[in-house]
Amino acid sequence: MITTRHKSSYSNLLFLSLLILPFMQQNLQNLSYPINKEQKHTAIFFFFIVTSIIGYHVLSQSHPGSFFNIGFLPKILPSNIPIIKSGKNTKCDYSNGKWVYDETQPRIRYSENCPFLDPGFRCQQNGRKDLDYQKWRWQPKDCNLPRFEAKDFLERTRNRRIVFAGDSIGRNQWESLICMLSEGVSNRSAIFEENGNPITKHKGFLSIKFQEYNLTVQYYRVPYLVIIDRPPPNAPKQVYGVIRVDRLHWYSAKWVGSDVLVFSAGHWWNQDKTVKLGYYFQEGETVNMTMDVMEAFRRSMNTLKIWVMQNLEPGKTHVFFRSYSPIHYRDGEWNKGGYCNTSRKPESDYSKLEPEPRNNIIINEVVKEMNKKAMKMVKFINITYLTEFRKDGHPSRNREPGTPVDAPQDCSHWCLPGVPDTWNELIYTELSRTGFKKSPAM
């Protein structure tokens, strides 16, 4: 977006060029040696080229998100979203940058042989031939994203509990973190699911124990975070079920006392997965047949905010609200022929990036409200912009064994190793920055 300031800067530069041009023409005519018309035009042409280069450099430095920079599209998240600090006296917006091809990836992380990966995320084993999607590293614009150190993270979380709560994209991230942490453990057999359950998307609760560090990393499947219930008596016939925006899921009782709590929600908050399926929104004893989906999402986030403030110790639990993870269906929705299997590199055409999701604005407002009320350990983790580029990182048609040939492509979840690893690097960086200590938890 070209702001008034951009226009003013450009106008001043253009005015200066036009002001200098007559003097330049006169000086060319007064040279001691003859100059023909063609040479004169060539000199003027190069003058404009040099002026343009200087102008581009000046404006792109002073307005990095402007039309004059390669990334002219405004950042997906608004400027009032808090940024992550990289040191005591400096700030770095880790969400703003670009993807850089790096041959060392993913050797520094893990492989598909990690036993804690869902079959649907093992894209190589499911038939994907190229490996390039694993070799892109996120490079912030004005700083470097610290490398994930599994042993350091494990020491910091010794005797602690990390909880992921939300939709299946949250499970995607949960599995990524488990595999990233497993690289720092000397005895892999000492990592196990506490209830003997296989890692699968069909389970509502999974708990991985890192016995060597007495660390527990849990996942709770709660796509809406709030309760899904039967319709109340006398509800209209088209109401198949209700989403109770004022009542958090009963799993929430198990989140109390956790040391790190990561929320992910948004993918189920749309018309297709709510009202079109007959699920309407209930508040109190009343079913609201006309409530907008995003308004319902806002109210559910407010319910979550109240729960956090009433149930979590401000100085103990680090709470992260992860922003919306973009999907990349092209030429159709997920159930109408949409696909993403033709992409082999991150998006380079900024005009194809989607606008700011309303989900993010709502979540950010909730986080800011909590920060104002002394909940300083509640953070908004912006992964939307960096993830929007990665149309190449989905399972697409490389689905888990047993999936019908004509099944829709998966352009929502992510191959692992892959993009969610970077999300976890952001969380690791924030925990390290805020002094998440290595001292034993009480």
Task: Select which of 63, 410, 412, 421 is catalytic.
Answer: 410
Q: How far apart are CA 319 and CA 381, in angstroms?
A: 10
Among 99, 104, 124, 100, residue whose Cα is nearest residue 114: 124
Candidates 63, 249, 267, 413; catalytic one: 413
Alpha helices in 355-418 (DSSP H): 358-372, 384-388
At residue 90, the 3 state secondary structure works out as coil
CA dihedral (315, 170, 304, 292) in degrees, to 10, reads 150
CB 141 within 8 A of CB 95: no
CA torsion through residues 55, 61, 62, 65, sign: positive
Residue 95 is among the residues annotated as catalytic for this protein: no
Long-range contacts of 43-48 (CB under 8 A, 24+ apart): 47/21, 48/17
Marked catalytic residue, from 168, 182, 252, 343: 168
Question: Of 99, 97, 108, 195, which Cα lies nearest the Cα of 142?
Answer: 97
**Residue matched to tokens 């949409």:** 338
413 is catalytic: yes
DSSP 441: P
Instruction: For residue 135, give every residue at least 6 positions away whose Cβ sits within 8 Å of its Cβ, in sequence order, or none.
Output: 101, 102, 103, 105, 106
Alpha carbon 130 to its chain centroid, in Å, reads 24
Active site residue 11: no
For residues 8 and 116, give the distance between their C-alpha atoms in angstroms, rounded to a whole number.
Answer: 55
381 C-beta neighbours (distance < 10 Å), count: 23
Residues serving a catalytic function are 168, 410, 413
